[in-house]
Copies of this chain bind each other. A is one copy, B any other.
Amino acid sequence: MDTKYQTLRAELIERLREINDLHSAAAVLEWDQLTYMPPRGAEARGRQLATLQSHAHRLGAAPELGKLLDALEPEIAHLPPDHDDAALLRVARRDFERATKLPSAFVAEVANHTSLSYDAWAGARPDDDFARVRPFLEKTLDLSRRYAGYFPGYAHIADPLIDRSDEGMTVAAIRPLFADLRQFLTPLVQAISARPPADASSLHQHFPEQIQREFGEAAIQDFGYDFTRGRQDKTLHPFMTRFSWGDCRITTRFDEEHLGAGLFSTFHEAGHAFYEMGTDPAHDGLPLGSGASAGAHESQSRLWENVVGRSLGFWQHYYPKLQAAFPQQLGGVTLETFYRAINKVEPSLIRVEADEVTYNLHVIIRFELELELLEGKLAIADLPEAWRARYEEYLGVHSPNDRDGVLQDVHWYAGLIGGSFQGYTLGNILCGQFYAAALQAHPEIPGEIARGRFDTLHGWLRHNIYRQGSKYLTGDLVQRVTGSPIQLTPYQEYLTTKYGALYNL
């Protein structure tokens, strides 16, 4: 590498780190807002966040950054595309294009509108009042269409919106995948519904918060969560956040009357954290040093929550510990009853409470409605009814109100319409593929899990997925790691095997 190249590269890294510092600072302020901030701190906090974001956006769209990227382009032309520097330039270029294609006035309009829209939703949801959010949602749909317009050349109007969270994915790729998945899930859910329902009453007893916390934190420490590089705090809607390679935090909520809620939320967010904690420390503060996409990230939260955390093998080792922590509540409950309880399948109205099998139908409904809205086939005014009809058709459940219907998720009220949901189900599909590849490489993994050992699995994931950060597009990552493009089969086989055994199908 020549000196000119090294100088340009050092300048690029300096600029990218500065942008990242501002985003990380904003992440700390957001974390604080959702965990510890006293109520009346909210007003000024909004202003502080807006200032940080506007400074970050200005740096990210600076013409000097564009010139630097242009100057580096020929310098890296001879590098293989999976060289770190080539990948860095690709991702930096992508972020720069996104920042410069959107006029600041539009960015400000979206920020301002979504803030008002969120407030309207927060007030309207408890009152079950869709009419109040309707005008906001109509404007959101208009803004979402305009967003797409800044990225001409797309095949489907939702593609630029999907690209924000799942880069490289398109409607053309996702639609058939989700159609196949639905075709697989519908008979599976029907077959399960025809069997005697699992008894989940053991989960609905009184479980003191402190003991739940200690058990959950001990378990994720066994998984490999590094408490010198993170911590767990309480919040309303759990999330994971990364401030740096050395500080990847998770949040959770506890329900003392329902054991599942807090425990699996802890496992889920820990899975997200493993991805960030497992990135290359040399990429800290650079756009390479973070998970590849929403779907790739979700594959890891789902893997640790469901594939590990809801497996029979895991509980063969941990259930005696859980019984020791809650002797009165679980002393008389067998492992098998408990295992069936935490894997009970039952069509329901609320996505975030759904089981592993029906969950994807919730997501597919939202994905389809997003496309229809963006395509102009569905009007906001008709959305509540479309939501209800789709739930009856796909899940066989009827929502008596909008609060638990179209008003249940924050996504459309606090951001744009399009690209908000597909990552959840892509994550499940990828999780199936990645886990199958891990098992192929290390057939001993299930046996280790049943002995409370996770090193082989965690190590394989870190080596193949986590340390890559966002060096590869998700599709390329899947190809590299599993030898195939994204495909449903491993996930279907996982569900068939697990739920076939659980429900004697």
Binding site for B on A (CB under 8 A): 17-18, 21-22, 24-26, 28-29, 32, 36-45, 47-48, 50-52, 55, 226-231, 233, 243-247, 249, 284-285
CB-based nearest B residue for A23: B48
**A39 surroundings in chain B (CB, below 8 A):** 228
Do residues A40 and B228 form an inter-chain contact, with CB atoms below 8 A? yes
A-B contact pairs, 13 of them (CB 8 A): A24-B48, A25-B29, A25-B51, A28-B32, A37-B247, A38-B228, A38-B230, A38-B246, A38-B249, A40-B228, A40-B229, A41-B244, A41-B247
Residues of B with C-beta under 8 A to A227? 38
User: What CA separation (Å) do A226 and B40 show in the bound complex?
Assistant: 10
Contacts A32-B28, A39-B228; A17 near B47 (Cβ below 8 A): yes
Structural contact, A42 and B285, CB atoms closer than 8 A: no
Given A17-B47, A21-B47, A47-B285; A40-B231 close (CB under 8 Å) = no
Q: Chain B residues near A24: list those with CB within 8 A.
A: 44, 48
Top 5 nearest A-B pairs (CB, nearest first) are A44-B244, A41-B247, A40-B246, A21-B51, A21-B48
Residues of B within 8 A of A247 (CB): 37-38, 40-41, 44-45
Distance of A50 Cα from B52 Cα, bound (Å):
14
Q: Which of A29, A48, A229, A243 has the most CB of B within 10 A?
A: A48
Main secondary structure of the interface of A (DSSP, over half): helix
Copies of this subunit: 2
Q: Which residues of B contact A229 (CB under 8 A)?
A: 38, 40-41
Query: What residue of chain B has the Cβ atom nearest to residue A26's Cβ?
Result: B25
Q: A335 to nearest B CB, angstroms?
A: 34
Measured between beta carbons, the chain B residues less than 8 angstroms from A43 are 244, 246
Contact B18 A51 (CB under 8 A): yes
Query: Do B246 and A44 touch across chains, with their CB atoms under 8 A apart?
Result: yes
In the bound complex, CA of A231 to CA of B41 (Å): 11
A22: B residues at CB distance < 8 A: 51-52, 55
A364 to chain B, nearest CB (A): 38
Minimum CB–CB distance for A225 against chain B, Å: 11
- Would you call B41 and A246 a contact (CB within 8 A)? yes
CA distance A251 to B9 in the complex (A): 43
Can you add 14 more A-B contacts, CB < 8 Å, to A24-B44, A38-B228, A41-B247?
A: A25-B29, A25-B48, A28-B32, A32-B32, A38-B227, A38-B230, A40-B226, A41-B229, A41-B243, A44-B246, A44-B285, A45-B244, A48-B243, A55-B55
Residues of B within 8 A of A40 (CB): 226, 228-229, 246-247
Q: Which residue of chain B has the shortest Cβ distance to A33 in the bound complex?
A: B28
Nearest CB of B to A497, in Å: 38
Q: Given the complex of chains A and B, what is the CA–CA distance between A292 and B230 in angstroms? A: 38
Question: What's the minimum C-beta distance from A147 to chain B, rounded to whole angstroms?
Answer: 26
Residues of B within 8 A of A50 (CB): 21
